[in-house]
Amino acid sequence: MDSKLDKGYEPHDVEAHWYAFWESEGLFAAKEEGGDNTYSIVIPPPNVTGVLHMGHALNVTLQDILCRYRRSKGDNVLWMPGTDHAGIATQNVVERQLASEGTDRHQVGREAFIERVWEWRKQYGGAIINQLKRLGASCDWDRERFTMDEGLSRAVRKVFVDLYDQGLIYRGDYIINWCPRCHTALADLEVEHEQTDGKLYQILYPFVDGEGGLIVATTRPETMLGDTAVAINPEDERYADLTAEKVMLPIMNREIPIVKDAYVDLKFGTGALKVTPAHDVNDFEIGLRHDLSRVKVIGEDGCMTAEAGEFEGMERFECRKAIVAKLDEMGLLKKVESHDHGVGQCYRCKTTVEPNLSKQWFVKAGPLAEKAIKAVETKKTRIVPEVWEKTYFEWLYNIRDWCISRQIWWGHRIPAWTCQDCGEIMVRMEDPDKCTCGSTNLEQESDVLDTWFSSALWPFSTMGWPDQTQLLKAYYPTSVLITGFDILFFWVARMMMMGLQFMDDVPFKDVYIHALVRDEEGKKMSKSKGNVIDPLEVIESQGTDAFRFTLASFAAMGRDIKLSVKRIEGYRHFINKLWNAARFTLTNVENNPDAAAKASKSRAIPDRWILSRLNQVILQVEESLEAYQFNEAANILYKFVWHEFCDWYLEAIKPILYREGAQEERNATVATLQRVLKDAIVLLHPFIPFVTEEIWHHMPGAEGSIMKAPYPAAVDEAVGLGPDKEAEREMELVMAVVTAVRNIRGEMNIPPNQALAAIIEPTDDFAKEALARESGLVSNLARLSSLEVGGKRPKGAATAVVDGASVYVLLEGVIDLDKEEARLEKEIAKLTKELVKLDKKLNNEDFLAKAPDKVVEKVRGQQAEMTEKREHLESNLEKVREIHGDQG
Binding site feature residues for ATP: 527
Contact 782, 742 (CB under 8 A): yes
CA-closest candidate to residue 673, choices 684, 681, 683: 681
CA dihedral of 632, 638, 643, 649, whole degrees rounded to 10: 110
Sequence-separated (6 or more) residues with CB below 8 Å from residue 51: 127, 128, 131, 536
**145 alpha-carbon distance from chain centroid:** 23
**220 alpha-carbon distance from chain centroid:** 37
Q: State how far the Cα of 456 lies from the Cα of 645, in Å rounded to an integer.
A: 47
Q: State how far the Cα of 40 lies from the Cα of 51, in Å rounded to an integer.
A: 25
Amino acid present at 326: K
Contact 563, 555 (CB under 8 A): no
In the DSSP assignment, the letter for residue 298 is: B
Q: State how far the Cα of 764 lies from the Cα of 741, in Å rounded to an integer.
A: 20
Q: State how far the Cα of 18 lies from the Cα of 688, in Å rounded to an integer.
A: 12
Q: State how far the Cα of 462 lies from the Cα of 460, in Å rounded to an integer.
A: 5
For residue 751, the tally of other CB atoms under 10 A from its CB is 7
Distances (CA, A) of 826 to 139, 704, 832, 870: 62, 62, 10, 11
Cis before 257? omega within 30: no
- The secondary structure element, H or E, covering residue 788 is strand 784-789
CA-closest candidate to residue 547, choices 678, 644, 691, 385: 691
Sheet containing 402-403, strands listed edge to edge, beginning at the edge strand earlier in sequence: 184-186, 169-179, 354-363, 402-403
Q: State how far the Cα of 174 lies from the Cα of 214, in Å rounded to an integer.
A: 28
**What is the Rg, in whole angstroms, of the alpha carbon atoms belonging to the chain?**
36
Report the alpha-carbon angle 349-352-354, nearest 5. Answer: 120
CA-closest candidate to residue 605, choices 781, 814, 426, 858: 781
Q: State how far the Cα of 738 lies from the Cα of 86, in Å rounded to an integer.
A: 61
Residue ranges of the annotated binding site are 527
CA-closest candidate to residue 159, choices 16, 368, 322, 10: 368
Q: State how far the Cα of 93 lies from the Cα of 87, in Å rounded to an integer.
A: 10
How big is the chain, counted in residues?
888
Q: State how far the Cα of 230 lies from the Cα of 615, in Å rounded to an integer.
A: 72
CA-closest candidate to residue 309, choices 297, 324, 321: 297
Q: State how far the Cα of 574 lies from the Cα of 641, in Å rounded to an integer.
A: 9
Contact 483, 495 (CB under 8 A): no
Instruction: Report the DSSP pairing between strands 784-789 and 756-762.
Output: parallel
Q: State how far the Cα of 184 lies from the Cα of 203, in Å rounded to an integer.
A: 32
Q: State how far the Cα of 609 lies from the Cα of 634, in Å rounded to an integer.
A: 21
**N-terminal to C-terminal alpha carbon distance within the chain:** 65
**Strands of 276-378, DSSP E:** 333-346, 354-363
Phi, psi dihedral angles at 697 (to 5 degrees): -75, -5
